[in-house]
Homo-oligomer: A and B are copies of this chain.
Amino acid sequence: MPVDLGIAEKQRSTPFYRDEKGRAYSKTEGPNACEKCFLRELNGCSALQENELADYMHLSQSYTYSRRSNLFNQGEAALNCYIVTKGVARLYRLLSDGRRQIISFALPGDFLEFHQQEWFTASADAVTNVNICRFSKQELFQFIADKPHILNKFYSLVYEGLSQSHEQIMMLGCRSAEERVASFLLNLRERFKKIGYISITLPLVMSRQDIADFLGLTIETVSRTFTKLVKDRRIIIVPDGVRILDLPNLKNIAKGIKENVFY
């Protein structure tokens, strides 16, 4: 089963439930088929030993959220944690006056809220149709309590997230609009590669507004910057994404190097 970003689907057809907050979702009955999951090699689940898999499969349940729907909200009791298995989700925080900062885009294999804190510190919703594995936090952490090899793997993943956040801090703190957009495209490209999604077109499943709120820019600045990159022949814009024409130069822009420098 290949990586699925949920690009094509615009509508959902499966029947859905609503939770106590009115969120629509659909659910796969019975335990998850972890042994067939293409993500097993990639993420925290890879730390599982064969004899642990059967129990683990019963811990999580598969859910589907449709495009634009909400997964959880900042401030709510954090009873569950999530792994994205298909599509893209956005993790964000809001200020009281409506300003939004997207903290990260979660791709297949990414963990959300794998902590033991009582409340969600951010909100998340589905950018495309999204499939997730949902765990009861309490059950999950009980399961791994005597399995340090798994906890260790989780630890590494959180640290990786921390490292990504530091990169993001660097980006927002000292990079220009053009550098931000270039970094964003390259980072996305790397992450797709890592999960085995390789294609000439770099799909941009999120809106310009999402990109703007991620990069700390306005939608107009993002648009103008894309236009500039197109004019300078670094990229071309295609339906649902971009194609990178001049990778080395884009990398230099992302690094903050103005002219062509080869090394």
Binding site for B on A (CB under 8 A): 93, 95-97, 99-101, 103, 115-117, 121-122, 145-148, 151-152, 154-156, 158-159, 161-163, 165-166, 168-170, 172-175, 213-216, 255-257
Complex CA gap A101/B21 in Å reads 40
Whether A256 and B96, one on each chain, are in contact in the complex, defined by CB atoms closer than 8 angstroms, is: yes
**Pick from B117, B148, B154, B161: contact of A145, CB under 8 Å:** B148
Task: Give chain B residues whose Cβ lies under 8 Å from the Cβ of A122.
Answer: 166
Chain B residue, CB-CB nearest to A121 = B163
How many copies are assembled?
A: 2
Task: Give chain B residues whose Cβ lies under 8 Å from the Cβ of A169.
Answer: 101, 103, 165, 168-169, 172
Task: Give chain B residues whose Cβ lies under 8 Å from the Cβ of A214.
Answer: 173
Q: How far is the CB of A6 from chain B (nearest CB, A)?
A: 25
Whether A151 and B155, one on each chain, are in contact in the complex, defined by CB atoms closer than 8 angstroms, is: yes
**Pick from B93, B146, B166: contact of A93, CB under 8 Å:** B166
Interface centre among A93, A122, A173 (most CB of B within 10 A): A173
Task: Give chain B residues whose Cβ lies under 8 Å from the Cβ of A155.
Answer: 116, 151, 154-155, 158
Task: Give chain B residues whose Cβ lies under 8 Å from the Cβ of A100.
Answer: 174
Whether A170 and B255, one on each chain, are in contact in the complex, defined by CB atoms closer than 8 angstroms, is: no
Complex CA gap A168/B167 in Å reads 12
**Pick from B95, B154, B216, B257: contact of A172, CB under 8 Å:** B216
Query: Given A96-B257, A256-B99: A162 and B158 within 8 A (CB)?
Result: yes
Q: How far is the CB of A210 from chain B (nearest CB, A)?
A: 13
Q: How far is the CB of A138 from chain B (nearest CB, A)?
A: 14
Complex CA gap A161/B155 in Å reads 12
Task: Give chain B residues whose Cβ lies under 8 Å from the Cβ of A173.
Answer: 101, 172, 213-216
Complex CA gap A29/B12 in Å reads 67
The 6 A-B residue pairs whose C-beta atoms are closest, nearest first, are A173-B216, A172-B172, A165-B165, A101-B173, A115-B159, A99-B174
Q: A97-B257, A101-B173 provided; 18 other pairs, C-beta below 8 A? A: A95-B174, A100-B174, A101-B170, A116-B156, A116-B159, A117-B159, A117-B163, A122-B166, A145-B148, A146-B148, A151-B151, A155-B155, A158-B162, A162-B165, A165-B169, A169-B172, A173-B213, A173-B216
